[in-house]
Amino acid sequence: MKRYQNLLLMIAVVVLAAVPLRMLEKPAPGPDGKVVEIFKGADDQAKNVIHEIAPGYRPWFKPLMAPPGEEINTLFFTLQAALGAGFIGYYLGMSVTRARMRRELDKEAEC
Amino acid sequence: MHIMEGFLPVKHAIGWSVVSAPVVACGLYAINKKIKEQPEHRMLLGVAAAFTFVLSALKLPSVTGSCSHPTGTGLGAILFGSAAMAPIGAVVLLFQAILLAHGGLTTLGANIFSMAIVGPLAAAAIFRMAKTAKLPFGISVFLAASLGDLLTYVTTSAQLALAFPDPVGGFAASFAKFAAVFAVTQIPLAISEGLLTVVVFNALARFNPQELKEMNVVTVQGA
């Protein structure tokens, strides 16, 4: 069980992400022919709630720099994840090797 | 949980910055002290930061039909204490605010407060309580990371409700509306974050038991 625990946990994470994708269907375009988007960011939805509660509120500051397009936005997010994942992978690899070398050293010492 | 640029009234933006800044400064001091005492833990600090980088970049779909992302701050809070996560979270939020127009500079203080202060504080406290209650290690980590994640989003909802109270129902009605957007969406993602944090801790427990022991994360278990 312990051996497969991490594999099982990771499968659970994938399932948790996949279930909503299968469960929710894209609603048909409304009468105005507009395509309804689903899985929009929660941050965006919060903006709508703000507009609802305080219709008069105008943001008083604009982002200094906005990614010039959806694709570039994706690039930065991917970059962020890749940097993080790369470092974690490096550390894990280093730890695995170090643990193995320690074990071998111990074995030699026993002989 | 990112409150968008300009979407907090000036007073609130300044208020949250004033609250968050000293905590970030304390966190820097705490990190410096820890690294000076045990320089070999520098790499693990990097792992904590990297984990936050990865998780806060992952926008995952949720059952509510919207997307949000985990925070990844629970791991570092359990390893290094909650204070250390304030500057780390601040760096991630700054990266996203400047390069991605995700979050913002005027809302940075408020976002730091929810993601880099309240979340880690909750995670560290829950982990300690679970340990005192002698819950199994994996369960303690899971509870700490997932509840820390969820509380971050509850905090964001409260911050927005404070800034935009409902004209009829006031703070409570407004909080309910924002929490419906943030906290409910976050529930499955918080579970994911909890599970992923356990995955990392399992790997650490297997390959770096020495470090975990030195950091008082695990009580001596023979291995």
> What does the H/E/C string look like for A4-35?
HHHHHHHHHHHHHHHHHHHHCCCCCCCCCCCC
Split at pLDDT 50, 70, 90, the class of B223 is very low
**Residue B96 touches chain A, beta carbons under 8 Å:** yes
- Between CA B150 and CA B154, with CA B152 as vertex, the angle to 5 degrees is 70
Interfacial B residues in 111-150 facing A (CB < 8 Å): 138
**Residue B155 touches chain A, beta carbons under 8 Å:** no
Instruction: Name the residue among A40, A47, A64 with its Cβ closest to that of B4.
Output: A47
* pLDDT value of residue A35: 67
* pLDDT value of residue A29: 67
Query: For residues A47 and B59, what is the distance between their CA atoms, to the nearest angstrom?
Result: 17
Residue range(s) defining the domain that contains residue A45: 2-110
pLDDT by residue (tens digit) across A19-46?
A: 888 887 777 666 666 666 778 888 888 8
pLDDT by residue (tens digit) across B33-91?
A: 999 999 989 999 999 999 999 999 998 999 888 899 999 999 999 999 999 999 999 99
Residues 6+ apart with CB under 8 A from A81: B53, B54, B57, B58
Number of domains in chain A: 1
Contact A38 B66 (CB under 8 A): yes
Torsion of CA A67, A69, A75, A81, to 10 degrees: 60
* pLDDT value of residue A73: 85
Helix, strand, or coil (residue B68): strand
H helices present in chain B, as ranges: 10-37, 42-57, 73-80, 82-99, 108-111, 119-132, 137-163, 170-207, 209-214
Q: How far is A4 from chain B (nearest CA, A)?
A: 11
* pLDDT value of residue A2: 67
Q: At what angle do helices B73-80 and B137-163 cross, to 10 degrees?
A: 120
Q: What does pTM read for this prediction?
A: 0.91
Split at pLDDT 50, 70, 90, the class of B222 is very low
pLDDT by residue (tens digit) across B135-172?
A: 999 999 999 999 999 999 999 999 999 999 999 999 99
Contact B185 A42 (CB under 8 A): yes
Contact A87 B46 (CB under 8 A): yes
H-helix or E-strand spanning residue A75: helix A70-110
**Residue B45 touches chain A, beta carbons under 8 Å:** no
For residue B108, the chain A residue with the least C-alpha distance is A63
Query: For residues B135 and B117, what is the distance between their CA atoms, to the nearest angstrom?
Result: 25
Residue B68 φ then ψ, to 5°: -150, 180
The tally of CA atoms less than 13 A away on the side-chain side of residue B164 is 26
Q: Which residues of chain B neighbour A16 with C-beta distances below 8 Å?
A: 60, 188-189, 191-192, 195
Q: How far is B153 from chain A (nearest CA, A)?
A: 11
